[in-house]
Structure 1
Amino acid sequence: MSLSQQRRFPRRRTSVGASRDFVTGVLIEWELHPLVEDIKLCISELATNALVHGAPPGREFCVGLHRGEELVRLEVRDSGPGRPTVQQPGDDACSGRGLRLVNELADDFGVDDHVVGKTVWLSFKIPAASTLPSRARERT
């Protein structure tokens, strides 16, 4: 089984909530309820980073979800320069914890560079009960 959905979002504050709603809807459609809360938190961080650091004015960012047999991959692609890195902020810092947090929640994390921009991706293992389609689970 392989499923994929993606959506583009404009560079505005409301896009963080809209991307969270998009991801939640897809995960519920795919019956991956146990992953919703962690992935919702992660998309909030990645979408915020895309707005603040990645998508230049007038541009968009793209959110994608890809489901395989054992993993869900969350991707956020923007056209901005720079490569995000996990930081170690001081105790009194007001920012810089987002990638550290998503790195802890996800099973894998990375950044793919493109000629223009980059894709920040996270992968999450699908819990065993969620790997079968719902009709197959009903029969077991």
Structure 2
Amino acid sequence: MRIVVQEDRFDIGAETAAFAAGRTDMGAIVTFTGIVREIAESPLEAMVIEHYPGMTEKALTEIAQEASRRWALGDVLVIHRFGRLAPGETIMMIATAAPHRADAFAAAEFLMDYLKSRAPFWKKEITATGDGWVAAKDEDEAALDRWQA
């Protein structure tokens, strides 16, 4: 399991290749990459992501461990950036490895729903018309609710 919170850009291909290298015991690797996207209301200049060092890594590790308890996973990778990111930049990546694809897909979805709704990151959108903190969305909360056991 590898959890990384960093300001620097990362290479999706290199991270995926490293995660998959030598995997003869796993039948599936699922990856998801999040990208900073434009917003319709006003052109996005940047998104600023803040976090509390130490607390964030601990929370991400705990949710990755929870995913590993729920599904038969061989490995988990979570990379999440912070700082000022422009539209089109990579914001995060999840990778899950499992003997079978169903577990790899389910765990990746679970992790993504958690990151979107509960991970301790604070996001501010910088636009031509002003700055504003990103609020939780009902659809993100609903997605997370389906995992409540």
Pair in the same fold by TM > 0.5: no
**TM-score normalized with structure 2 length:** 0.31
Q: Which one has more relative contact order, counting CA pairs under 8 Å at least 6 apart?
A: 2
The structure with the largest strand share of the pair is 2
Q: TM-score, normalised by structure 1?
A: 0.32
